[in-house]
């Protein structure tokens, strides 16, 4: 078996946490990547190069951090000796950062994100096994040209559909409706399915400000109005069902569109697309007539990432970004 080289970029998170002496509570991101890898039982034929880039809780990560991470990933994957890159981070924003990276990188080699639900010092920690499996996946030729994937609890998910499904259980992530791409079993990576295509957008402008506003029964327009008055560039509406909002939101939504703010409607349902099924005030049809873009089956967090990247790229037709056909 030929030797492989994988680069692991550590950014912090529960996977790098330990208890504070004064409170007994976890402090996120205090253990270096070099220290963690020593406990992961990496196969001898894989050389893991570690860069402890950041030591942050994932809710402390910024877009500046992610853009800097992209530069490091690009630099490492240009090296012919590197088989793939693993990124470790906190799980709270992992579904967002992994998909953002999927949209702004274009490499044939695997880029693998992972984290853990339990700290390295806890009984039954998933930190070491998730890193080991991520490293194995980063060497897998079947994951070439797939885009950014997430490894968690022996399963391989695509960043486009992965979602944190549990706050604390080691089975922390899932891809509702689409399933996982494959599994890692006894150090063997098995791929069962792949996406038909992957997306890449070159960033040519500063990242815009895009907010998410959740819709619920009897909701009014104050948050939409606040976003408009704050001069945001885009708004993701997390509607219900097929993409409905309350009648009381519609006037302000129209003002947003008229003022040049890009508005996208998504659904809070974990499966299914927004669709113009109904014709009444606040329906998806009403929203579309007002100039709101239909966000298909994107959840609000993924739609936000796609809109941010779309507005910062040379993509002129944002509606086609979400509805290419």
Task: Return d(Cα 154, Cα 143) in angstroms, integer.
Answer: 15
Select from 17, 113, 128 the least CA-distant residue to 70: 113
What distance in Å separates the CA atoms of residue 271 and residue 175, rounded to the nearest whole number? 10
In sequence order, the β-bridge partners of residue 52 are 10
Place of tokens 């800097």: 68
Identify whether the C-beta of residue 103 lies closer than 8 Å to the C-beta of residue 321: no
Q: Please give the full DSSP string across 84-101, using - where no structure is assigned.
A: EEEEE--STTHHHHHHHH
Residue 293: strand pairing partners: 264
Active site residue 14: yes
Backbone angles phi, psi at 135, to 5 degrees: -65, -45
CB 193 within 8 A of CB 161: no
Rounded CA separation 84/57 (Å): 24
The DSSP H or E segment spanning 190 is strand 188-191
Neighbouring C-alpha atoms within 13 Å toward the C-beta of 186: 0
Tokens of 165: 């499904």
> Can you tell me the distance from the alpha carbon of 229 to that of 236, in angstroms, rounded to the nearest whole number?
16
DSSP state of 297: T
Quick count: other Cβ atoms within 10 Å of Cβ 114? 31
Q: Cα–Cα–Cα angle for 203, 205, 207, nearest 5°?
A: 85
CA atoms within 13 A on the CB side of 319: 6
Out of 14, 88, 114, 266, the active site residue is 14
Annotated catalytic sites, by residue?
14
């Amino acid at each position: 078996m030929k030797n492989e080289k994988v680069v692991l970029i550590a950014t912090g998170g529960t996977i790098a946490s330990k208890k504070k002496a004064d409170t007994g509570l976890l402090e996120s991101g205090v253990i270096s990547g070099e220290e963690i890898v020593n406990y992961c039982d990496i196969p001898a034929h894989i050389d893991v190069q570690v860069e402890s880039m950041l030591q942050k809780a994932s809710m402390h990560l910024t877009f500046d951090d992610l853009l800097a991470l992209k530069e490091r990933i690009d630099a490492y994957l240009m090296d012919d000796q590197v088989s793939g890159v693993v990124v470790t981070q906190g799980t709270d924003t992992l579904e967002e950062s992994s998909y953002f990276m999927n949209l702004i990188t274009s490499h044939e080699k695997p880029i693998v994100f992972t984290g853990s639900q339990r700290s390295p010092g806890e009984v039954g920690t998933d930190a070491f096994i998730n890193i080991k499996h991520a490293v194995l996946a980063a060497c897998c030729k079947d994951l070439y040209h797939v885009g950014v994937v997430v490894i968690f609890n022996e399963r391989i998910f695509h960043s486009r559909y992965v979602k944190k499904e549990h706050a604390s259980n080691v089975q922390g992530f899932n891809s509702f409706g689409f399933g996982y791409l494959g599994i890692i079993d006894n150090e063997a990576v098995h791929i069962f399915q792949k996406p038909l295509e992957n997306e890449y957008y070159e960033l040519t402008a500063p990242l815009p400000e895009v907010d998410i506003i959740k819709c619920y029964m009897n909701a009014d327009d104050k948050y939409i109005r606040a976003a408009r008055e704050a001069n945001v560039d885009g708004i993701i509406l997390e509607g219900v069902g097929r993409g409905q909002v309350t009648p009381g939101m519609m006037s302000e939504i129209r003002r947003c569109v008229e003022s040049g703010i890009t508005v996208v409607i998504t659904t809070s349902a974990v499966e299914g697309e927004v669709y113009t099924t109904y014709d009444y005030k606040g329906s998806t049809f009403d929203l579309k007539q007002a100039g709101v873009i239909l966000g298909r089956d994107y959840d609000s967090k993924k739609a936000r990432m796609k809109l941010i990247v779309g507005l910062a790229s040379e993509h002129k037709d944002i509606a086609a970004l979400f509805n290419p056909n």
